[in-house]
């Protein structure tokens, strides 16, 4: 009975007139979409410009010698940054070993136990630490490690970079853990799982990909730092495998070569910068792929 249907509908829903989409709305839609795309391009442009310029300037100087040899004395051509590449990896490894657990631990405290005044204090201090100039952090590491060891070392450089990593990791970890719904924690509590186990095996695991983003952000940021290494790792023209000895780092080598008066060194500085950026991109990509590999379908 279509008649009763329509009259029933007429009673429930008052007749309203929805105007067709106007030309003005269509145009606004187009314009705003365009603006959004433009901003994306503007954000990405510097990145690609820098990378393209680095490739242009640096690729010519990257060869087997550059990747396998130590720097040659002034006046001799050739040589490379092999020791600095390895040194950077060692220093960043130490920094990650110290900074990542500490940062994630602080993030867990802030999210799971720090919804109070103590948490607010830690959050504030962490944000201030994030704003401290990197050279000042270098001085702190100098005081903490170099003064005690009586010489520069990879360890001191790692400590300086670790201090820089902690606030970024702590705050992103906190944010990512807070995004995990309370219902997930309750599900674990309901099974008789203790609080610390729930935090580690359920909450942190659920937030893994976000936490890793924070870790990689911090890693990428400190990987290019030069100032904190100036009087901690100090740099080295030769191979060094000991973490308690002055150690070369790509950023330091680039700095030294870039301010030198020699064209050859300038070219090598460009090459070093290119290698550094490739290493960072490679590390971030490798971690991302490793994480995705361990993820289930539909998760």
Partner 1 sequence: MGVGITVEHLNAFYGKTQALFDVNIIVAANRATALIGPSGCGKSTFIRCLNRMHETIPEARVEGKVRIGDLSVYNGTSATQLRRRVGMVFQKANPFPTMSIYDNVAAGLKLNGFRNRKQLDEIVEKSLESAALWDEVKDSLHKKSGASLSGGQQQRLCIARALAVQPEVLLMDEPCSALDPISTGKIEELIFQLKEQYTIVIVTHNMQQAARVAEFTGFFLLGKMIEFDKTEKIFTNPSDKRTEDYVTGRFG
End-to-end CA distance of the chain: 48
DSSP 8-state symbol, 234: B
Closest CA to 174 of 103, 271, 223: 103
Counting residues that bind partner 1 (by CB under 8 A) gives: 26
Residue 188 Cβ vs partner 1, minimum distance, rounded to whole Å: 7
Say how far apart CA 97 and CA 104 lie, in whole Å.
12
Between 180 and 209, how does the x/- string for binding to partner 1 read (CB under 8 A)? -x-xxxxxxxxxxxx--xx--xx--xx-x-
88 exposed, middle or buried (CB, 10 Å; 0-12, 13-18, 19+)? buried
Cβ atoms of residues 103 and 218 within 8 Å: yes
The H or E element spanning position 107 is: helix 82-108
Residue 181 Cβ vs partner 1, minimum distance, rounded to whole Å: 7
Contact pick of 2, 46, 73, 298 for partner 1 (by CB under 8 A): 298
| Closer residue to partner 1 (CB): 124 or 189 | 189
| Closer residue to partner 1 (CB): 69 or 213 | 213
| Closer residue to partner 1 (CB): 211 or 276 | 211
| Closer residue to partner 1 (CB): 28 or 194 | 194
Near partner 1 in 153-182, by CB under 8 A? 181
Between 277 and 296, how does the x/- string for binding to partner 1 read (CB under 8 A)? ------------------xx
74 exposed, middle or buried (CB, 10 Å; 0-12, 13-18, 19+)? exposed
| Closer residue to partner 1 (CB): 215 or 276 | 215
Closest CA to 207 of 110, 64, 90, 94: 110
Residue 30 Cβ vs partner 1, minimum distance, rounded to whole Å: 37
| Closer residue to partner 1 (CB): 193 or 258 | 193
The H or E element spanning position 137 is: helix 134-141
Say how far apart CA 218 and CA 176 lie, in whole Å.
15
Q: By CB under 8 A, is residue 115 in contact with partner 1?
A: yes
Residue 192 Cβ vs partner 1, minimum distance, rounded to whole Å: 3
Say how far apart CA 119 and CA 107 lie, in whole Å.
10
Q: Which residues bind partner 1 (CB under 8 A)?
A: 115, 181, 183-194, 197-198, 201-202, 205-206, 208, 295-299
């Amino acid at each position: 009975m279509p008649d009763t249907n329509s009259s029933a509908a007429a009673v429930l829903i008052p007749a309203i007139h929805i105007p067709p989409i106007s030309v003005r709305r269509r145009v606004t839609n187009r314009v705003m979409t365009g603006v959004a795309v433009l901003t994306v391009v503007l954000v990405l442009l510097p990145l690609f410009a820098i990378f393209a310029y680095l490739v242009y300037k640096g690729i010519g100087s990257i060869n087997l010698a550059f990747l396998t040899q130590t720097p040659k004395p002034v006046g001799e051509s050739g040589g490379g940054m092999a020791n600095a590449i390895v040194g950077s990896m060692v220093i960043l490894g130490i920094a990650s070993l110290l900074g990542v657990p500490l940062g994630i631990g602080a993030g867990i405290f802030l999210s799971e136990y720090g919804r109070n005044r103590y948490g607010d204090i830690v959050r504030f201090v962490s944000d201030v630490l994030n704003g401290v100039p990197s050279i000042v952090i270098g001085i702190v590491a100098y005081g903490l490690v170099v003064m005690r060891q009586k010489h520069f070392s990879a360890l001191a450089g790692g400590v300086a970079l670790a201090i820089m990593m902690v606030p970024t990791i702590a705050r992103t970890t906190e944010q990512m853990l807070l995004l995990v719904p309370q219902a997930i924690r309750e599900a674990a509590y309901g099974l008789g799982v203790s609080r610390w186990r729930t935090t580690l095996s359920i909450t942190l695991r659920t937030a893994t990909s976000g936490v890793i983003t924070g870790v990689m952000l911090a890693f990428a940021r400190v990987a290019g730092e030069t100032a904190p290494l100036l009087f901690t790792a100090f740099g080295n023209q030769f191979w060094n495998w000991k973490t308690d000895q002055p150690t070369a780092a790509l950023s330091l080598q680039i700095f030294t070569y870039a301010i030198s008066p020699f064209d050859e060194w300038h070219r090598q500085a460009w090459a070093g910068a290119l290698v550094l950026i490739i290493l960072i991109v490679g590390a971030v990509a490798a971690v991302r792929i490793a994480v995705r590999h361990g993820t289930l379908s539909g998760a």
